[in-house]
Amino acid sequence: MKASLLLLLPPLIACLLLKARGKTFSRCELALMLQHSGLDGYEGYSLADWVCLAYFSSGFNTAKVTHNSDGSSEYGIFQINSRLWCSDSHSTTKDLCDISCRDLLTDEIVDDIDCIKKAVIDSEGLNAWMGWRDHCRGRNLNYWVNTCNL
């Protein structure tokens, strides 16, 4: 009994440690961080656009990974795609952000913000994100930031 428990302990600890690396932000906590990172007005998008994007991409969850049918994956709070922006072990990439996709899954999102700044310039803007197109574009987004005391 003790031997089997000892065998299970390392995977359990590893699982807990990996789980602890991610974070689900509150709406206002994220809005404040994005504001301090200079995203309000960046490339013509309001702070509310960025918060709305993060919600409909990941539910504010930094540890979210989505696997796509084309073999690429989306990583982190903004669901940054591995085909162009980050490197993972299972898809061909251009790695334009020069970052490991795993680094986009932590509670530290400075690298996510740096990467999305590049992505929004080098692509079709936030239109490249279906969640933003379907739920945020052209809508009144005041809700996302109005009560945050920014």
Task: Indicate the SS3 state at residue 147.
Answer: coil
* Residue 76: alpha-carbon gap to chain centroid: 3
CB atoms within 10 A of CB 81: 22
- Local confidence pLDDT in tens for the 150 residues of the chain: 555 444 555 554 444 444 447 999 999 999 999 999 999 999 999 999 999 999 999 999 999 999 999 999 999 999 999 999 999 988 889 999 999 999 999 999 999 999 999 999 977 999 999 999 999 999 999 999 999 999
Predicted local confidence at residue 102, as pLDDT: 97
Tokens of 55: 């919600």
Q: Which domains does the chain have, with CATH numbers?
A: 22-144 (1.10.530.10)
CA 85 to centroid of chain Cα atoms = 12
In 3D, which of 131, 150, 108, 106 has the Cα closest to residue 50? 131
